[in-house]
Amino acid sequence: MITELNKKDLDEIFERNTDPGRCLMELFVFAIPEDIRINEWPKVGEELNDYLLKQFERFSKDDRDFWARQGFKADRKLGPWQIKINGNGLAHD
């Protein structure tokens, strides 16, 4: 499943949150349909990945490193603002 994310919506998530963990959780809730559980990190386009890394730098260098290990993974094959959840990474109830 591939979805295009809107920078304006993402900006609002980062403006609302001062805690990187809560921000990450809200990003997951926003980007991933509620009827899907993931068991691997979603992939994102390079521009979106760069944007997210830059936003997490606002919290601190340590939190940026947390993001790099715990968030989404960059995928050059995706469009700039796309997110992809692979079929083999989905678990349905």
Strands (DSSP E) contained in 1-93 are 2-4, 37-38, 43-44, 73-74, 82-84, 90-91
pLDDT computed for residue 61 by the predictor = 64
Question: pLDDT averaged over consecutive 10-residue blocks of the chain (93 residues)?
Answer: 91 90 87 75 90 82 60 89 70 44
Q: Domain locations in the chain?
A: 2-91
pLDDT computed for residue 13 by the predictor = 94
pLDDT computed for residue 88 by the predictor = 43
Model-level pTM?
A: 0.79
